[in-house]
Amino acid sequence: MDMTKFHILTLFPEMILQGLAPSVIGRAVEKGVISLNAVDIRDYTLDRHGKVDDYPYGGGAGMLMQAQPVYDAYRAVAGDRRVRTIYLTPQGRPFTQDMAADFAREEELVFLCGHYEGIDERVLERVVTDQVSIGDYVLTGGELAAMVMIDAIARLIPGVLGNGESAEEESFHNNLLEYPQYSRPEIWQGVRVPEVLLSGNHSKIAAWRLEQSRQRTAARRPDLYARYEEKQRLIRRLSGEKRNHIHMMESLARGRAEILYEARRERETAVLLYDRGCGICMMTALDGETGEKMADMLPADARMALVSEAFLRDILTGRQYRVSGEFRQVLYTRRETLPVKHKEIRQLSEDDLPYVCKWYCDEGRGPGVDCGYVRERIRAGAMYGAFLEGRQVGFAGIHDEGSLGMLYVEEPFRGRGIAASLEAYVVNRMLERGWVPYGHVEAGNAASERLQEKLGFYKAEKSFWWLEKVLANTI
Ligand code: 9D3
């Protein structure tokens, strides 16, 4: 992909450049992964004395930045393109990790930093697409806020962080704060490292860390803790029908899903979850009435829906969705990793994209099917390939909503356990992250069902359906 361009309109360009240069962000600029273009608004004033501010009409304390220099500086960087333009202001929407992820998908961003008491409203109306604050405290200008945003956005862009520093799953997202950590020496100023961390007992260590996280979150961030507890309660309820609902339980446990709707009756639960990261809804319902209610609440930007009942499928097909397939869920409930017999398996890189596209898109889904999804999965580090003497013969991966899939082995190389090894390999990667591996087998795919059973997966009792949103202009 082309490098992401950050333009910053400011009265203090050197503050931005000098502030970011010595950091990870500065290194990404040197590598050519991103670019920083700090533009001095004062260069664009038509005033002979370089003035960019004036008194506010109607009176009041302080000065305002005038519209003309701001507008001309904006046009100089944005031209006639429609560029996402962020005005840093205490009146903006509070900046969050979700917003950072959203901005990280843009190829170009303009940051407008205010000074004095603000900027003439007319130019804001003309050029600004998003108004953002970094929190409820008072700064002297927008520059530090822009730097905070650029830092948080840039680290989500592939190639900005070095190898091993993945931004993919962040503990934050699970609604729990991180646990305390310790390094050598074992005793420092008379204080010992907690005994359990030296025990080598990994499940005990994990349990201790979870408990520390919970206590910290409850004490310091009651807002996060309340959401954590709500999700834990829902996971426990869904576990009554684990095989049918593992996708919802895992989306909640991995910190991906938000609860948009929940209704309970005796032992049954109606739930609408939304994974904003990939635009996928997950629904289960008691009856048509709650089903209709949930369908009314589907987010406008949702791209797909997973439904656990046939009547929900029918409600959604009446509402801009079409069925893309009927599936059974399979899940692997053990904690032990699986043996991987075939040795030549590794994570794929973007160089391997043509191979996966050939089989997954062109041959699998039909010629010309967009490879964008596969590229995104490779970039996320979620695709793995099997090789025979260096030649690729198959692949498997983790879908964006978190299920295991995209399993494929070329015809001449089948029947020698390569598919089983690929799947076992992906299962092991998921177990390492503390996930319960699960996947979706298309109804009637007996070969796949046999493989899942052989690997020790359990199969859901009921069918479930993937639906795709039909875009308005294709109806
Ligand atoms: C009369 C009220 N003004 C002074 C208290 C309002 C005011 C204008 C401009 C207050 C601060 C600023 C400068 N701040 C920013 O430009 C800014 C900011 C911030 O102050 N806090 C959190 N996020 C941001 S984003 C931009």
> How many Å lie between the centroid of ligand 1 and the Cα of residue 170?
29
Pocket test for ligand 1, best of 138, 140, 148 (most atoms within 8 A of CB): 138
User: Helix, strand, or coil here: 127?
Assistant: helix
Note the pTM of the prediction, 2 decimals.
0.84
Residue 462's pLDDT band (cuts 50, 70, 90): very high
- The pLDDT assigned to 1 comes to 57
Q: Which two tokens stand for residue 313?
A: 């499928």
| Ligand 1, atom 7: closest residue by C-alpha | 117
Do residues 41 and 143 make contact, with C-beta atoms less than 8 angstroms apart? no
Closest-CA residue, ligand 1 atom 2, reads 117
Dist CA 401 CA 276 (whole Å) = 10
Kindly report, residue by residue over 307-350, the tens digit of the pLDDT.
999 999 999 999 999 999 999 999 999 999 999 999 999 999 99
- Whole-number Å distance, alpha carbon 115 to ligand 1 midpoint, is 8
Ligand 1 lining (C-beta closer than 6 Å): 88-90, 114, 117-118, 133-135, 137-142, 145
Q: Print burial letters for 256-295: b (CB count within 10 Å at least 16), e (below 16).
A: bbbbbbeeeeeeebbbbbbbebbbbbbbbbeeeebbeebb
Q: So what's the pLDDT on residue 370?
A: 77
Closest Cα to atom 8 of ligand 1:
117
The β-bridge partners of 464 are 327
How many A from CA of 134 to the centre of ligand 1? 10
- Three-class secondary structure of residue 344 per DSSP: coil
Contact 284, 438 (CB under 8 A): no
- Say yes or no to pLDDT of 63 above 60: yes
Q: How many whole angstroms separate alpha carbon 81 and alpha carbon 71?
A: 14
Q: How far is the CA of 139 from the centre of ligand 1 (A)?
A: 5
Tell how far the Cα of 329 is from the centroid of ligand 1, in angstroms.
51
Amino acid, single-letter form, for residue 68: Q
Amino acid symbol at 178: E
Q: Indicate which atom in ligand 1 lies nearest the CA of residue 92.
A: 25
Q: Of the candidates 16, 11, 12, which has an alpha carbon nearest to the alpha carbon of residue 41?
A: 11
- Measure the N-to-C terminal CA separation of the chain; round to a whole number of Å: 32
- Give 122-175 pLDDT, tens digit per residue: 999 999 999 999 999 999 999 999 999 999 999 999 889 976 556 555 545 578
Is the backbone of residue 382 left (phi > 0), alpha (psi -120 to 50) or beta? alpha
Amino acid 233 reads R
pLDDT digits 0-9 by tens, 277-293:
899 999 999 888 999 99
Determine the Cα–Cα distance for residues 384 and 423; give it in Å rounded to an integer: 9
Q: pLDDT class for 439, splitting at 50, 70, 90?
A: very high
Supply the mean pLDDT for the chain: 94
The answer on pLDDT for 305 being more than 80 is: yes
Strand partners, 340: none
Range 33-44 average pLDDT: 98
Q: What are the b/e assignments for 331-359, b being 16+ CB within 10 Å?
A: bbeeeeebebebeebeebeeebbebbbeb
Short-list 389, 396, 401, CA closest to 420: 396
Per-residue model confidence as pLDDT tens digits over 81-125: 999 999 999 999 999 998 999 999 999 999 999 998 999 999 999
pLDDT value of position 367: 72
Per residue in 361-420, pLDDT tens?
A: 877 777 767 789 999 999 889 999 999 999 999 999 999 999 999 999 999 999 999 999
